[in-house]
Structure 1
Amino acid sequence: MPHAKLTFTDVSLTVNVPAGTRIIEISEKIGAGITYGCREGDCGTCLTYVEEGAENLSEPSALEAQVLREAMAGRNDRLACQCQVLGGTVKVRHG
């Protein structure tokens, strides 16, 4: 299975992850501190800023895109509960 490198810059942690893994799952496992309320893409509390590697992430689902619009999120913001790391290198920070 292909792997990717995910860095949480706000807590200076980098890990190798299996491709297809959601950012929130890794945050929970390593204690990176991304807060969340639902894991279903509805609430927006896991809003995460993508500093690098957005091209290595899954495309936003219709639900995620709607929540991002409603939250007036920036173009580099994603929901960690919905966003999957597909390969390469990705750097994110919470909020």
Structure 2
Amino acid sequence: MFKLTLMPQNLEVHLPANSSLTELEFELHGQESISFGCRSGACGACVIEVMSGAEALGARAPCERNFLASLGFDGEQFRLACQCRLAGNAVVSAVAAPR
């Protein structure tokens, strides 16, 4: 099990290795966390900023990188949560709206 910490709420969730971050909806039972829309990397509802543990979320595919850049999130610290699989401990923060 790995720990994912959601900021600024400081919520800690433990998920099995290789879990999709979309599992947060079930683990947190409706608590405020990350908004998920399409779950396929096409809507941008689940943009997160990785505070630490980027290597634990897997590599960004070129299509994810390009889509995030089109939304104004071109830094390496931004990810689409629906495209991440947890392979270690990480700390992330949901991003409210595209810049």
TM surpasses 0.5 = yes
**Unaligned 5+ runs, structure 1:** none
Q: TM-score, normalised by structure 1?
A: 0.85
Which residue does 1:47 correspond to in 2? 47
CA offsets 1:39-88 (integer angstroms, 9 cap, x no match): 1101111100100111111111233122112112122010011111112x
Which residue does 1:25 correspond to in 2? 23
**Unaligned 5+ runs, structure 2:** none
Identity across matched positions, percent: 36
Structure 1 residues 13-92: aligned runs within 5 Å: 13-26=11-24, 28-29=25-26, 30=28, 31-73=31-73, 74-87=75-88, 89-92=89-92
Question: Does structure 2 retain, via aligned residues, the 8 Å contact 1:43–1:67?
Answer: no
Instruction: Supply the RMSD in Å over aligned alpha carbons.
Output: 1.4
Deviation at 1:33, TM superposition (A): 2.4
Give the structure with the larger strand fraction.
Answer: 1
What code does the residue aligned with 1:71 have?
L
CA offsets 1:8-62 (integer angstroms, 9 cap, x no match): 0222211211111122322x12134211221110111110010011111111123
Local SS of the residue matching 2:83: coil
